[in-house]
Amino acid sequence: MTVVGHSLGGGVAKQFAYQYPQRTERLVLVGSGGLGPEVNPLLPVLTVPGASLLMGVATSPPVRPIAIGLMTALHRTGLPYTADAYQLALVYRSLESRESRKAFRHVLRQIIDWRGQIVTMRDRAYLAAYMPAMIVWGGKDTVIPVSHAFVAHEMLPSSRLEIFPNCGHFPHAEEPEHFAEILDDFISTTVPARYDARRWTRALKHGGKLVEAPDHATSPGPGTRPNSEPTVVSDDSHPESSRARVKSESKAPTGRQRRAIDGAAG
């Protein structure tokens, strides 16, 4: 199966791929957590003692409609750092009950503390190199910085990187048709991973060193150009999105990639 995970779900998808490689053919990470400590500063605040009381007041009936209206209005302005305001308003709306707030904080405290994200995929990322992977990120993500997309791209040598310049943390919700298009293309142009128990055991034993080339690396599909310079292509078929597509096996963001991201954030 192709496993797709967004944000915290990205961490769940990675864990699933590690634990059940025989069931995972491809991996897609969308604005995924677990790639570095950096995160929206509000989230660590919500993990400290006393935050539950603050959340109770902030989500009370008198405050809730005002806050949702303000967040929605901010999103419409298009000002910097407001790209995620509307989608975060939907998350905020879901925290109206005490039980939902308790569950939210319980999950949050398992992956974030006052320092930021505390769960990482870095120590086991090499295992995902044995399956086709795609990383999708919004260029205006205000929850987890887009720089983490390049971190993931570096750790997964044969991965495909897709940046949606005008989207925030929820590219699949903001541009669902475009997201479905690249997901369909990724699935149709990659060779599904074949689980080899002996190879998997050797990879675990060597702890991070590729003991042999991944199957999909030997049969690249369209959009995969091993050992090539990364390219940023503006998708003219969707001028309203101006989605930037990054295809390659780059080991770090190049000047052109940085300019594309900076231009989207401006």
Which listed residue (169, 172, 178, 216) is catalytic?
169
Which listed residue (6, 7, 148, 159) is catalytic?
7
* 169 in catalytic set: yes
Give me the DSSP letters along the chain. Answer: -EEEEETHHHHHHHHHHHH-GGG-SEEEEES-SSS-S---THHHHTTSTTHHHHHHHHTSTTTHHHHHHHHHHHHHHT-TT-TTHHHHHHHHHTT-SHHHHHHHHHHHHHHEETTEE---STTTGGGGGGS-EEEEEETT-SSS-THHHHHHHHHSTT-EEEEETT--S-HHHHSHHHHHHHHHHHHHHSPPP---HHHHHHHHHHTS--SS--HHHHS--TT--TTPPPEEEE-TTSTTT--EEEES--SS--HHHHHHHHHHH-
* 141 in catalytic set: yes
Which listed residue (6, 84, 141, 241) is catalytic?
141
* 215 in catalytic set: no
Residues with a known catalytic role: 7, 141, 169
